[in-house]
């Protein structure tokens, strides 16, 4: 559930997409200013489902048990979602709200790498023209900030 690598545009979409971040911790412990409440709930459910699958594959790995224990102890939202036993989806659509570009939607697709479900590549792309325009604007904003 840890981000291994990301690009600048991904980090602008959501700070939790930074290398080294744990997506589940970010979703439940950090303010998610760039996601609508409904889509935050959808994203959290997806992450809980993926975490549950990871735990089933790696039952002997104490890292997963420690993470789940931490989440249960610190987040009633996590505990509630964990009890629902959500099913993961390999693709979906989420809405984001960025202060510089407004509301836009992205779709995600999950791909396992090398046949191991432990390593997953997440591809985000615009859901529609407004998403495309928003990502282009964020890219230009990042280029401008990088040149300063």
Residue 46's nearest CA partner among 9, 74, 84 is 84
Tens digits of residue pLDDT in 84-114? 988 889 999 999 888 889 999 999 999 988 7
What is the rounded average pLDDT of the residues 3-17? 90
Question: Quick check: is 138 in a domain?
Answer: yes
Tens digits of residue pLDDT in 71-89? 999 999 999 999 998 888 9
Question: Quick check: is 1 in a domain?
Answer: no
Task: Please count the structural domains in the chain.
Answer: 1
List of E strands, the chain: 91-98, 102-113, 116-126
Question: Quick check: is 40 in a domain?
Answer: yes
- Find the domain containing 13 and state its range: 8-147
Question: Quick check: is 2 in a domain?
Answer: no
Instruction: Please report, for the domain that includes residue 113, its CATH number.
Output: 3.30.450.180
State the angle between helix axes of 76-84 and 37-57 in degrees (0 to 180), rounded to the nearest 10.
60
Full-model pTM: 0.84
């Amino acid at each position: 559930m840890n981000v291994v690598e990301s690009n600048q545009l991904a980090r602008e979409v959501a700070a939790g997409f930074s290398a080294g971040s744990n997506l589940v911790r970010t979703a439940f412990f950090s303010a998610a200013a760039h996601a609508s409440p409904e889509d935050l709930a959808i994203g959290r459910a997806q992450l809980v489902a993926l975490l549950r699958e990871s735990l089933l594959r790696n039952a002997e790995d104490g890292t997963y048990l420690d993470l789940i224990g931490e989440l249960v102890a610190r987040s009633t939202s996590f505990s509630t979602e964990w009890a629902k036993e959500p099913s993961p989806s390999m693709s979906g659509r989420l809405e984001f709200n960025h202060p510089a570009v407004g509301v836009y939607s992205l779709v995600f697709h999950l791909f396992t790498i090398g046949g191991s479900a432990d390593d997953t590549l997440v591809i985000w792309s615009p859901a529609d023209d407004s998403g495309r325009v928003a990502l282009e604007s964020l890219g230009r904003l990042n280029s401008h900030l990088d040149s300063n």
